[in-house]
Chains A and B, each alone.
Chain A
Amino acid sequence: MRAGLTVVRPGMLTTVQDLGRVGFQHLGVPVAGPMDWYSHRLANRLAGNEASAAALEVTLIGPELETDADVWCAVAGAAFDVTVGGDPIDCSQPFAVPAGERVRFGARHAGARATLAVRGGIDVPPVFGSRATHLVCRMGPFGGRQLAAGDRLPVGAGRAARGGHEVVPLPLPSGGARLRVLAAPHRPRFTGRAWEALTSTRHTISSQSNRMGYRLEGARLTHAGPADILSEATPIGSLQVPASGQPILLMADRQTTGGYPIIATVITADLPIAGQLAPGDWVEFRECTREQAMAALAERRPFDR
């Protein structure tokens, strides 16, 4: 039998994710994928995988997993105490988990979501070319649900780890974050005051937030005209504003299309920071230029391009 990890305790919300279901949005199939793409790539890099390998996304309260073979793992993203067989491990390095031992996530110190990668990747059957889990559509491995105790995660064939790479973990937000945005095509559908409020006041992530999006509470963003548009595609990071004037930050599991105007879009480089936020955290938005967005992304140094 192939190596596998068995879920002993699933944690609060642990899902299998890869880089997302690309190429089917025109059929209404949402992308899903990691909330923090940078840490997903970093964990895979540390584990010696391709960036596209499937890994586990851990949310707020981490899981406990038992392996039935010797495996190599790596963790990136939110700062958790992680133990193997009860011994604390250094999350800046890949670590071995001997057969029969358990990886356990303990206290969380910063950030909201961590990626646990296993060398060889989580080898579940792809759906529309992807192993990402979409909870609402119930699409992906395990019927598209979060992991439960007793689930067994098959591990793919390992390969040699690459040496000599520089490891730069994501700077984790604490209590909130400032995110850079680009004005969206619908910005003229809002009042000047709405833009002012968006870029100069603080919003709070409400408890009605999940992998689809964060509902934000704060200054009301007023539309210059109707709050409905003819539905069109909704990029990740978009700040969609329904009639209430309270924006929704669209995240990994967002629907493919929407009928509310979008005032601004968070730049790709800052999406991982957004993915590390949780309900109760504050968020501020600052306008930047396209050049600044591209420079910030190059600086974030994605791996495996």
Chain B
Amino acid sequence: MHGKYETLLLLDPELGNEGSSVLLEKFSGVLEKNGGQIIRNDDWGVKTLAYPVQKQVRGRYIRMEYSLPPAQVSEFERNIRITDGVFKFLTVKLDQAQDKQEQQEVE
């Protein structure tokens, strides 16, 4: 059984568009290698942070939504942690029940 997760990444603004898409591709590769599937990637763009992180007042937010076997989530997080240019990240398990409701509404 796959769980649905989302990860919000906070990236270094100095990476630029290209650098962040390279990172995203890397993470997508990791996900697919571990039997996951990307549902959608959401780029919020460069935003001003509420407080400075690593002495930067700006950062790029990217939200990844994907399904992944629960055992592989820590492996994915490990990969994020060892990547340069990632300031912060937060992985949240998405509510399956709410999702079904949304699907029914679409149908």
Q: Do A and B bind each other?
A: no
B residues with CB within 8 A of A: none
